[in-house]
Structure 1
Amino acid sequence: MELDPPKTPASVLRDSLRAHRTEQDHEHVFTGADGGLLRRSNFRDRFWVPAVAGLPRRGWAPLLPGFHFHDLRHTHKTWLIEDTVPEVLQHKRLGHRMRGVAGIYSHVTQGMIDRMLDGLQRRWERSTVSTTETDSPEHIPRAESPHDQLLPQCSHQRRKPRR
């Protein structure tokens, strides 16, 4: 098993993850139960698939069947567009560089960041469901497909899942 650096040096989460790591009693942020490295396939099988596809033997209803981990990036980008976040901040947020003149003369301001975070906070607050002991996952309204709910205008062609 090998560790690689973040996808891009400009990764927005890099600094947050470094800060979080200082609070851990081990070197890595995401670990298995024994504190060792968490393999991609183990994360997928143990955490991701049960969360999105459900785990009937534990009474977990499906949340977003067919939703892939990378779809989170597409969803986030779509939300940024819907919230009219400036393109320069979208690029920075996703760890991309803007090309051309726009990349030279466009800069992210604290006001842009604050408005983006306010929009994401509003989305979070609208998405949370108050639960009681009588509530169950089956009572949470679901769209017919993940794209209907999260990516209404997405034309991204989905690849077949790896087995």
Structure 2
Amino acid sequence: MNDSPKSRAGRRVVALPPEIIPDLRAHLERFAETHENGRVFTGPNGGPLKHSGFRRTWHRTCTAVGLPDLHFHDLRHVGNTLAASTGASLKELMSRMGHSSTRAALIYQHASQGRDRAIAQALGNAFQVARETKIENASGT
């Protein structure tokens, strides 16, 4: 099994929101191996996480919380969609996600009514500032 990312873009440092650091620390203290190259996720007995065991646990947990069709990779999609909704540029999203092509990153830039309203409001604000500047310049103040 190859442990390397698919492309050079896949090897990167990604900033995390400081609000999640306490949860990450709690996870590391409770579940992760403590040595320098230790695993962040381990199996039930502390060894390597096996695909079959993880799948069973994942499906059981998803069903228990009412999301029986949720796939693990869907978490990446949600995270990347949320990152895109912050207004990040395509290049910023590509860097954050480890994509070397725009095609892959464009998948996460979903249009939404809420975002469309925010864009309209920002355009309206810019228009208002331009109008006020024009009026000020015309009146000589």
Q: TM-score, normalised by structure 2?
A: 0.47
- Using the size of structure 1 for normalisation, the TM-score is 0.42
Q: Work out which of the two has the higher radius of gyration on C-alpha atoms and give 1 or 2.
A: 2
Higher helix share: 2
